Amino acid sequence: MRVGFIGTGNMALALAGAIAASDPDVAVCGFDVRPEQLARFTSQIPGAAAASDNSDVVTDADLVFLAVKPQGVKPVLEEITDTEALIVSILAGVRIAVLEASLPRARIVRVMPNTPALVGEMAAGYAGGTLADADDLELVSTILGHAGLAVRLPEALLDAVTGVSGSGPAFVARLIAAFSNAAVAAGIPRPDAIRLVLATFSGTARLLGEKQLTPEELISMVSSPNGTTVAGRTVLESSDLEKVIQQTVWTTIARSRELGDEGAGR
């Protein structure tokens, strides 16, 4: 199996690292117009080779990740227009129809990954194009599974995945920062505050997942009558937090759709 990367930034590095760690027999190659990024890629991914250009990547690879910036994809597509490879696009907002119009012979799968792929905890959604068959989708699912969770969805829902998972780590990190700052204001040294908050977030997520609890069930478990949690909930649940989170996600979804419309020439 030969896996290529057109664009070797952080997400490409995360995916390539997960693939290389899970299957040492996979040959990885990449190309990037930024020499320093390509050098970092080949130095950090065991056995990774540097391709001479984008067409060199698609010529030698069985599966190619398209991992450039959405705004810079047009000249890349022109360079590989004749490829029949399996192309896995991680370009935010760029729709399958746009890619298929430029790559009419390629099998396209569109993916919305996120940066926790760097630690094998990715949450991604993916959808197949018109030429991608069941074997292609199974292969993509397996490859993505090396980096975390991958859920197959209709393409129309990938903008929502962008809002929840793609951009979600930044929003969760903002909440972690707020909790940490509150802990510091209460007198806990910042290094200890951050450790406690990180463990609280990761432990809560693990507890919900492994015990198959709903958030509401866990809230009830932690909330003793007239206790500390109930006191804090009176503040939290009377605030606009849920509305703010919903608006944050919906604004992200709207921007993803705008990027898609721009890519479609609308």
List the domain boundaries for the chain: 2-155, 168-255
User: What pLDDT sits at residue 189?
Assistant: 98
Q: What is the pLDDT of residue 133?
A: 96
Instruction: Determine the CATH number of domain 2-155.
Output: 3.40.50.720
Look at the domain 168-255 and name its fold: ProC C-terminal domain-like fold (1.10.3730)
What is the per-residue pLDDT for 266? 39
List helix spans (H) across 211-240.
215-222, 228-236
Which pLDDT score is estimated for 60? Answer: 77
**How much is the average pLDDT of 5-26?**
90
pLDDT tens per residue across span 179-224? 999 999 999 999 999 999 999 999 999 999 999 999 999 999 999 9
Ramachandran bin of 41, using left for φ above 0, alpha for ψ from -120 to 50, beta for the remaining angles? alpha
Query: Which three-class secondary structure state does DSSP give residue 178?
Result: helix
User: Once rounded to an integer, what is the mean pLDDT over residues 21-49?
Assistant: 92
Does the pLDDT at position 265 exceed 70?
no
How confident is the model at residue 100, as a pLDDT?
Answer: 96
DSSP string covering 75-123, please?
Answer: HHHHHTTT--SEEEE--TT--HHHHHHH-TTSEEEEEE--GGGGGT-EE
* pLDDT tens readout for residues 128-178: 999 999 999 999 999 999 999 999 999 999 999 999 999 999 999 999 999
For residue 263, the model assigns a pLDDT of 59
Average pLDDT, the chain: 93
